[in-house]
A and B are shown apart, each in its own frame.
Chain A
Amino acid sequence: MALRELNFTFTPEDPRPFPLGWSHRGVVGSGDMEVMFEQADLGGQVQVKVCTPVVGFDEVWERVLDRCIKESQVSDVSIEINDNNATPVVVAMRMRQAIEEARKEAE
């Protein structure tokens, strides 16, 4: 019933530190989410905290996030997500857009 908090840690193989101090994207509409990236000294790791009303998809969250991290190799960043029933497609799209735009902005 209450909102749930999921925590994950990932270790990218070829770490590319998040280039901005912080970055925020998205709106917590129905089927959508917001995400906050904040630079953090995590020794090449990534910490993710997900706040979600959804029950029963913890493994899906882990796999979706794992793929986003593998794909981007983003590292040394604390990621927080406020989710409102976003499907894996939406999660992946929002993450990808946020990381790519942050990298573009940092150039």
Chain B
Amino acid sequence: MSDWKSLEAKSFYGASARERAIGIVDEGTFTELAGPQNRMSSPHLPVLGEAVEWDDGCVTGVGLIGKHPVFVISQEGRFIGGAVGEVHGAKMVGAFVLARQMYDRIKEEHPDELAERLPAVVISFETGGVRLHEANAGLLAHAEVMDQIQESKGKFPVISLIGSKVGCFGGMGFVAAATDVIVMSDLGRLGLTGPEVIEQEMGKDEFDSADRSLVYRTTGGKHKYIMRDANYLVEDTLGDFHDQLTAIMDAPYDEIVKCRRIGSEELVDEQLALAELSVEMAPKDARDVWAYFGNEDVDQIPEMTTAEFLAVAKRR
């Protein structure tokens, strides 16, 4: 695990939160903050007889990409589905607080090098949103993270990485949407309402949650890339995510924020127009939308490798 180079070749999808945290920043630069030695586990789970984890399913820390201090939040899907409770949420907020303090400090100490030393918050999502065992505290933590994202605007980028087993759903689905840049692999899934709930609302004939292929067409990386909800689609290795982050951080801040899909009146107008288009188009399946945006042979899209797909994909 400590061998960074072999970590880079590892599948992002199968990697643990800690492996991802270490592997998405430059070699040997990651320092975990509020790590397991602090024993900051949830105070709410023991009373319910639910197992605890010392990092509460959220690995936080700092690393470097080039000269950029990168504050990392990495969620662990194997621990209660990566769900967000009080401690987990506070760790997310803490990463933003530190990034902002770092931003202020660099502005003061290295005013000429702000661009090359610009900090960032990177979130490697693997979560279904609120943790039911401490649902109210988890919900309030979500609101704080949204507040922190807005607070970072105009200062430093916030970047989402989505390619882990659980995907990114529930309240964390709109947290991801609110960040500046979204990087996904084709194994990543992003949405608000989980497939089981859609099935419950619409019936199995309309949406069969056991049809994983359908779930991927609706929420998967390739679909989100076509919709421009994901800005970049990368191969499923830690190294590919790391390289993409490096490329993003090399760009000027003004360029990076062009990746946003929401967060201004103009973008809201654009999204509202898309919502109206959805009424006109009335798609039965995401494939209809792909075809609408000019993709040929939409049945083959799920089968394509990432490289094949990127070579032919027509985006919104």
Contact = CB atoms under 8 A, between A and B. Distances in A.
Do A and B contact each other directly (Cβ–Cβ < 8 Å)?
yes
Interface string A1-36: 111000000000000000000101001111010101
Nearest to B51: A84
Interface in A49-107: 51-53, 82-85, 105
Contacts of A32: 78
B16 interface: yes
A34 B53 contact: yes
Interface string B72-112: 00001011000000000000000000000000000000000
Contact of A27 (B45, B48, B50, B53): B53
Interface of B: 2, 16-17, 35-37, 41, 45-54, 76, 78-79
A82 B49 contact: no
Name B's interface SS: loop
A51 B45 CA distance: 12
A52 B46 CA distance: 9
Contacts of B51: 3, 28, 51-53, 82-85
A2 B49 contact: yes
B37 A22 contact: yes
Contacts, number: 55
Contacts of A3: 45-46, 49-52
A105 B227 CA distance: 46
Contacts of B45: 3
B143 to A, nearest CB: 27
Given A3-B49, A28-B52, A32-B78, 10 more contacts: A2-B46, A3-B50, A3-B51, A27-B53, A29-B78, A29-B79, A30-B78, A34-B36, A51-B46, A53-B51
A38 B2 CA distance: 18
- Which of B16, B17, B45, B79 has the most chain A CB atoms inside 10 A of its CB? B79
A105 B1 CA distance: 11
B52 A51 contact: yes
Interface of A: 1-3, 22, 24, 27-30, 32, 34, 36, 38, 51-53, 82-85, 105
Contact of B41 (A53, A82, A85, A105): A82
A2 B49 CA distance: 4
Contacts of A30: 78
A2 B79 CA distance: 18
A53 B53 CA distance: 13
A29 B52 CA distance: 10
Given A3-B45, A27-B79, A36 B50 contact: no
A42 B35 CA distance: 25
A22 B2 CA distance: 14
A75 B54 CA distance: 23
Nearest to A51: B52
B52 A27 contact: no
A27 B80 CA distance: 11
A80 to B, nearest CB: 8
A24 B36 contact: yes
Contacts of A29: 78-79
Contacts of B46: 2-3, 51
Contacts of A28: 51-53, 78-79
B223 to A, nearest CB: 28
B49 A27 contact: no
Contact of B78 (A2, A27, A36): A27
